[in-house]
Every structure is written in C-alpha cells, then in structure tokens.
Amino acid sequence: MFNHPEYDNHERVAFCREPEVGLTAIIAVHDTALGPAFGGCRMWPYEDEGAALTDVLRLSRGMTYKAAICQLPYGGGKSVIIGDPQRDKTPDLLRAMGRLVEGLGGAYIIADDVGTTLDDLAVMRRETSHTAATTASAREPLAVTAYGVLRALETAAEVELGRSDLAGLTVAVQGLGNVGLPLCRYLRERGAELTVADVDADRVATAEREVQATAVAPEAIYRQPVDVFAPCALGGILNDGTIPHLAARIVCGGANNQLLSPSHDAALAARGIVYVPDYLANAGGVIDFHQESIDDSAGAVLAAVARIGDITRDVLAQASAAGETPLAIANRLVRRRLAAARP
C-alpha cells in the first residue's frame, strides 16, 4: 500500500471484513493536523478491492483539502463499503460499520455519501457516537453541496466572464444525482440555460420537466458550446480524451477528483479554461457539519456555505496576479495551513 500511487502519507488505513454480515470496508484517515478526520461513507460495487482502495485514498485526501481551504478544524477521512447499496445494505452491515468507526476512537467522523443516507447514519449511531447529522435540523434534507457549487460558479462567472448575474449563462451539467439536479434547480432559478446528461433516463426526464433542460447523450456533454461545464458525477473525467473537446470557459462542479491526474490542470489552462478546484467548489458538506455545532438552522447553514464564493474570489484573484492556475494557488494555501498546524 505504501507504494500505491494515491498514497499521500495517510496516517491510517483500516481494512475490515465481517463475512457474517457481508461487510468489506476500508477507512482512510489522511491528515488530522487541523482536527479529527471528517468524511462520508461511500457504498459502491467496486470491481475489486484495488479500485476501492484507490477511491478511498483519493477521497480522504480531498476531504483534508476541503477542510483546510475553508479553514475548518477538521482533517480528511473517507470510508468505502464494497457492495451494491440496493442489494447488499442491511442494518447488521451498517451496525458493523459503526463498530469499525467506534474502534478508531474519534479519529474519524463518518457522514453520508454515494450509496449511504442519513437514515443509515442513524443505524450506525447505535454503535458509534462519531457521526454527522446528529441534530434534528441536520437530518432535514438541504442541498448544501449544490449550493456551494452555485456560489463558486457565480463567482467564477463574475470574475472570468464579467457576469453580474446568471441570466442567459449556458451551463452543461454532467450527472443529475444529489448534487447535479439541485444545482440545476438553483441555476434555473437564476436564469441559466441548461444542457444535461446522465445515464439514468428518469433523472434526465426530471431535469427536462423541472428546469427545461436540453438533454444530450452522456458522451456528448463535453462537446457542448457552453460557458460553464459542471461535472457532478464521477471523478477522473477531465483527461486526455475529454479536455480537447471542451468548449466551456470555466469548469466548476460538484464531483470529487475531477482531474484524472495533476497534469490535467495544466492541460485545461493551456486551452484557456479556468478550473475551479473541485475540493473548494464542493466543500459544502464539511461546512454544513461544522455549522451543526454553531447554528444548524437552514438559513445559517446556507449562509455559512456561501463563504465558498468568497474563497473562490480570493483564489481566482491570487491566481490572476501570480500567473498561476487556481488549483496551484489553492494547493499552496492548503499546504501552508497544514504545515502551520503541525508541531
């Protein structure tokens, strides 16, 4: 594992298997210099354990960067359960996951993610106190990640395109799940024109009906002549095969790990495309968790998440002044904050 390409001096990687309840899981704690590791639990039918390990290592590092760029008192962690959430998830499996989290003694705080829900966290809380969504208000659905992406996108459109509002702005949204579809609703409310793609036909139909989106095939979403491309599905989608086809001026979305490799940041810049770091645009979840301990009302949470727009403005300004990419600036800020927090 120490030679794994995604290993980044992670502090702890825990592997767990409880065959009697069908649990095969990995928890990765990346960095706790700023505080306990926080991050979601993803349940997914990975093709093998190697793919699951790659995902959890990358995602946990991303959580460290989300917390640090937003100056929050948390480190980064993530967990993955190998399995189909529709078929394999049971209360016994979730309770076993809770025991695994409890065994880490508070080093990792678990949240919901792809394939898990707030109800699943409630089952885990029978075995551990180290979970998100512990208050009644926090258990109410609120599209915090989508709202954070919206604020980053609005700021990028203002700074890079000179837009005072989003009326008539064209946006291609890839993925219509728990982030992509709410983002579409926010954008439509502000007058944006939407092109969408998803492998789920029902989600596409919902977007066509609710936000008057134009649907295209998943493989065509990269080629759309739009102002903004918003990836809100899988990671690794910005790569040698897709970047040459992008017509957008800005990339800003909710997906994690959008770049297949760090070199693709430079590839976007070479084409004049401004890339808002994914871990900044999609940091709404960790801000939401922190806000639970202060004021967890919906208005207070969204006001806190709106700070993503201010951070985006600062990063873009520094990037312009230094002649560097926004990702290079954001990464440097994160590394400085982590270094300052260590003895």
pLDDT in tens, 264-299: 999 999 999 999 999 999 999 999 999 988 998 889
Share of the chain above pLDDT 90, in %: 91
130 with 277, same domain: the answer is no
User: To which residue do tokens 């919906």 refer?
Assistant: 298
- The domain of 56 spans 12-64+74-134
Of 88, 105, 134, the residue at which a domain comes to its end is 134
Catalytic site residues?
78
Q: Which helix (H) or strand (E) holds 171?
A: strand 170-174
* Same domain for 121 and 48: yes
> Would you say residue 140 has pLDDT above 70?
no
User: Per-residue pLDDT for 261 more than 70?
Assistant: yes
Q: Are 330 and 321 in contact (CB under 8 A)?
A: no
Q: How many residues does the chain have?
A: 343
Cα 209 to Cα 169, 181, 188, 201: the distances in Å are: 19, 12, 12, 12
Q: Identify the domain boundary among 88, 106, 134.
A: 134
Same domain, 44 and 157: no
Q: Report the distance separating Cα 9 and Cα 7, nearest Å.
A: 6
- The Cα 316–Cα 325 span in angstroms is 8
Average pLDDT over residues 31-49: 96
Among 134, 154, 183, the domain boundary falls at 134
Contact (Cβ atoms closer than 8 angstroms) between residue 124 and residue 95: yes
Residues 6+ apart with CB under 8 A from 297: 137
Same domain assignment for residues 150 and 81? no
pLDDT tens-digit series, residues 2-20: 788 889 999 999 999 999 9
This prediction has a pTM of 0.93
pLDDT tens-place string over residues 69-125? 999 999 999 999 999 999 999 999 999 999 999 999 999 999 999 899 999 999 999
Residue 106 lies in a domain: yes
Q: Are residues 301 and 279 in the same domain?
A: yes
Count of domains forming the chain: 2
Q: Is residue 139 part of a domain?
A: no
CA nearest to 186, candidates 302, 266, 310, 31: 302
